[in-house]
């Protein structure tokens, strides 16, 4: 479950920080509309991550409180989304690329249309374990509201653990001196 929780944290940060510029790629269930995904506006963004559910074989009674405390500290920070970084955001592509980075994930459903975020994926792990990851919600120019579920299963199919997070983020205005400004990812190389 510890490895699953680390993946959950990484996944939540992808959702909260990656935006959703790419067009829906058509795998799995059909999208409700063909509207292109709405891109986040550059500026100062704050986020809040709430752990709704955390349970598993090796989860202690204090684990949820400790993780929530960590996420609460992150909630106090704001991030400057530069115009260059906003142009490169692509949630659908980042999730699709998980398979090429060795996560061995397949998607049952991907819908990034308008403000809609609705996807489900299954990732195969070591020794026959699997992790099912799903998210539903909205991601728009000035706000995001996404609920994400991570369900880890043992090789025999029985439940190892589950984590449900509610992630909200909001554009606060123009970037300010107290914002964290992550480096802009390198643009993909042009194909010749």
Are 153 and 159 in contact by the 8 Å Cβ rule? The answer is yes
* pLDDT score of 98: 61
Which two tokens mark 154?
Answer: 């043992």
Q: Any idea what the Cα angle at residue 181 is, between residues 179 and 184, rounded to 5°?
A: 160
Residue 184 lies in a domain: no
The number of residues in the chain equals 192
180 located within any domain: no
Q: What is the CA radius of gyration of the chain?
A: 17
Is 104 domain-assigned?
yes
φ and ψ at residue 70, rounded to 5 degrees = -60, -45
Residue 50 within any structural domain of the chain: yes
What pLDDT was estimated at residue 87? 86
Q: How far apart are CA 60 and CA 46, in angstroms?
A: 30
- What pLDDT shows up at residue 3? 44
In a domain, 185, yes or no: no
Answer whether 71's CB lies under 8 Å from 96's CB.
Answer: no
The answer to whether 161 touches 138, Cβ cutoff 8 Å, is no
> Quick check: is 157 in a domain?
yes
- In-domain check, residue 164: yes
Domain count, the chain: 1
**pLDDT of the chain, 192 residues: tens digit per residue:** 544 444 444 444 444 444 433 333 334 333 445 788 899 999 999 999 998 999 987 888 788 888 888 888 888 789 999 999 988 887 777 766 665 565 688 888 989 889 999 999 888 888 889 999 999 999 999 999 999 999 999 999 899 999 999 999 999 999 999 999 988 766 555 544
Predicted confidence at residue 185, as pLDDT, reads 64
Sheet architecture: strand order including 116-124: 78-81, 43-56, 159-173, 143-153, 130-139, 116-124, 105-113
- Per the structure, the complete domain to which residue 157 belongs is given by 2-23+33-173
Domain-located, residue 192: no
């Amino acid at each position: 479950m510890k490895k699953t929780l680390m993946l959950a944290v990484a996944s939540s940060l992808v959702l909260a920080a990656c935006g959703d510029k790419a067009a829906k790629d058509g795998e799995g269930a059909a999208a409700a509309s063909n509207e292109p995904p709405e891109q986040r506006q550059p500026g100062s963004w704050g986020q809040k991550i709430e752990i709704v559910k955390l349970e598993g074989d090796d989860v202690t009674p204090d684990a949820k409180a400790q993780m929530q405390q960590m996420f609460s500290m992150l909630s106090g920070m704001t991030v400057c989304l530069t115009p260059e970084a906003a142009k490169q955001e692509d949630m659908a592509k980042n999730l699709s690329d998980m398979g090429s980075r060795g996560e061995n994930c397949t998607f049952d459903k991907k819908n990034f249309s308008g403000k809609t975020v609705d996807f489900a994926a299954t990732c195969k792990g070591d020794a026959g374990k699997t992790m099912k990851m799903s998210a539903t919600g909205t991601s728009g120019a000035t706000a995001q509201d996404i609920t994400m579920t991570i369900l880890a299963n043992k090789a025999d199919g029985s439940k190892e653990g589950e984590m449900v997070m509610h992630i909200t983020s909001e554009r606060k205005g123009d970037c300010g001196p107290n914002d964290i400004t992550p480096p802009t990812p390198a643009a993909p190389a042009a194909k010749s």
